[in-house]
Amino acid sequence: MTSRADIERWSGAMVAFDYCDPKPLSDLVASEPVPDKLRPVIAAIISGERKPDKRKAAHSKVDAAERFRIGAVLAAVLDTIDDMNHPAITGSAADRMGIEPRQAIDRLNMYREKAYQVAEENLGVSRETAKKLARDYRKKVQDWPDV
């Protein structure tokens, strides 16, 4: 069984490869056993069947090796906010803070907005690109080993 950390490392390396940065993948192949489920993908790279997408890489504002990590962090923050945005949690949290549940939900929405703003300011990308990085991360992890 492949751990979540392994899935994230290998998927991130595959994303970097797809964006014309083979170093993270070559470093992993050199230092760790390739997960069984990923062997066909690595074989396709070695045989030349799978190649980096130079068009995607040319249009990307985000470094290939960083795309997956940024998406992972943003997805984790947004998922945490979504998990907390449940009546059972916001209601009891609001009671402890002495505010109305609607105010607790508004705060969570403010945190969501702040997460996007931080991503936009620190990466110099649009809101849509920040959303896409988080969405791409979730999809890669969900579709493992089809990276």
Note the pLDDT of residue 110: 94
Q: Which pLDDT score, from 0 to 100, does residue 117 have? A: 94
pLDDT of residue 45: 95
pLDDT tens over the chain, length 147 residues: 678 888 888 989 999 999 899 999 999 999 999 999 899 999 999 999 999 988 877 878 788 778 888 899 999 999 999 888 877 777 887 888 888 888 888 999 999 999 999 989 988 888 999 999 999 999 988 888 887
* CA–CA separation, 85 and 69 (whole Å): 24
Q: Which pTM was predicted?
A: 0.75
Q: What is the pLDDT of residue 104?
A: 86
Domain range list for the chain = 4-142
Tokens of residue 47, six digits:
């045989």
Residue indicated by tokens 């797809």 = 18
Burial class (CB in 10 A: 0-12, 13-18, 19+), 134: buried
- Would you state the pLDDT for residue 77? 93
**Cβ pair 10, 35 in contact under 8 A:** yes
Integer Rg of the chain from CA? 19
Q: Would you state the structure tokens that stand for residue 127, as one six-digit string? A: 């809101």
Angle, helices 23-31 vs 4-18, to 10°: value is: 140
Provide the pLDDT for residue 32: 94
Q: How far is C-alpha 39 from the geometric centre of its chain's CA atoms?
A: 22
C-alpha torsion sign, points 52, 29, 36, 62: negative
Best CA proximity match to 111, nearest among 83, 87, 135, 88: 83
Please report which residue ranges of 19-100 form alpha helices under DSSP H.
23-31, 39-47, 54-59, 64-84, 87-97
Residue 102's pLDDT is 86
